[in-house]
Amino acid sequence: MSTLKIENLSKQYGDVTALEDVSFEIEDEFAVLLGESGAGKSTLLRCINGLTEPTSGYIALDGEEVRGSQTDVGMIFQQHNLVDGVSAYLNALTGSLDRVSMLKSMLQWQSREDKLRALEALETVGLLDESHQRVSQMSGGQQQRVGIARALVQDPRLLLADEPVASLDPSSAETVMGYLRKAAGEHDVTALVSLHQVNIAAYFGDRFIGLRDGEKLFDVRREELTPELIDDLYGSVETVGLADQEETVEEILHGDGDDPDDTAPPETVPQEIEA
């Protein structure tokens, strides 16, 4: 896994301050960003992955300063950003675009290693049997799992996710978060995920960073996340479920019968990757 270090990060858009003097460090963790809309969560993630240039401050991954777009930072978006007309397998393969061109990707001219990586990633998110199904025929939860697989094919050191379950029903949201957590663990990737759903965040997260009006309000671990902190962050809201954190995340990770330690390639290789 990798270490992400943020020091005194600020971002201004004209007279509007989106982030102000934010600092934290995460290592070998599944960390969650919490905060209301407009708190600065998306801006922070965009600064980390190079989509937005910070006004000031320092971002480093494993001691190396992050400047511009990073090929070793995987990003999962709320709206999936998939190619609807092609299969889950081909969408997962686009995670290798930093190694091959888009044309070669669509013609499946990637290396055998990349093709196997795509299949293994789809297996990780429980979609190996649906690898040839067009994503346009998949549910929103399945599409988001394809997005996770695509990010894994990128072979990232850091995995970012911006409201990955915001548009999903509660059951699908739990499923997607379970696979996201599983993916980070199996691939030894440090993860930073922004969420609105407090109970889901409390269930899956190891570490919680609260943002309000662009400033860091708290940085706590699971046992320190209390209803009082949440109320301070969001105002008086329902926090039912925070007391249920003794229930282990493994129940969701193992609930479908998958072995989270089984990272071996599939025994049978589809025809597409035999070349």
**Residue 240: CATH number of its domain:** 3.40.50.300
171 burial via Cβ count (<10 Å: 0-12, 13-18, 19+) = exposed
Inside any domain, residue 149: no
Domain encompassing residue 49: 1-72+196-256
Asked if residue 116 belongs to a domain, the reply is: no
**Residue 207 in domain:** yes
On whether residue 236 sits in a domain, the answer given is yes
pLDDT band at 85 (very low <50, low <70, confident <90, very high): confident
Q: Which amino acid is at 198?
A: V
Find all residues with CB under 8 Å of 247, minimum gap 6, and list them. 203
Q: How far apart are CA 6 and CA 131, in angstroms?
A: 37
C-alpha distance from residue 212 to each of 50, 192, 202 (Å) = 22, 17, 18
Query: Tokens 């889901």 belong to which residue?
Result: 200
Within 69-214, strands assigned E span: 73-76, 158-162, 190-194, 207-212
In this prediction, residue 202 has a pLDDT band, given cuts at 50, 70 and 90, of very high
- pLDDT, one tens digit per residue, over 16-74 is 999 999 999 999 899 999 999 899 999 999 999 988 999 999 999 999 998 777 778 99
Locate tokens 């209301």: which residue?
A: 36
Sign of the four-CA dihedral 242, 247, 253, 257 = negative
Domain count, the chain: 1
Specify the pTM. Answer: 0.82
Considering the domain boundaries, does residue 135 fall inside one? no
Beta bridge partners of 4: 26, 61
Q: Give 43's contacts (C-beta < 8 A, 6+ positions apart).
A: 11, 18, 19, 52, 214
Specify whether the CB–CB gap between 41 and 211 falls below 8 A.
yes
Residue 147 falls within a domain, yes or no?
Answer: no
Least confident of 51-65, 88-102, 240-254: 240-254
Amino acid (one-letter) located at 159: L
Nearest to 154 by CA among 129, 181, 121, 182: 121
Give dist(CA 194, CA 213) in Å, integer. Answer: 15
Q: Is 165 left (phi over 0), alpha (psi -120 to 50) or beta?
A: alpha
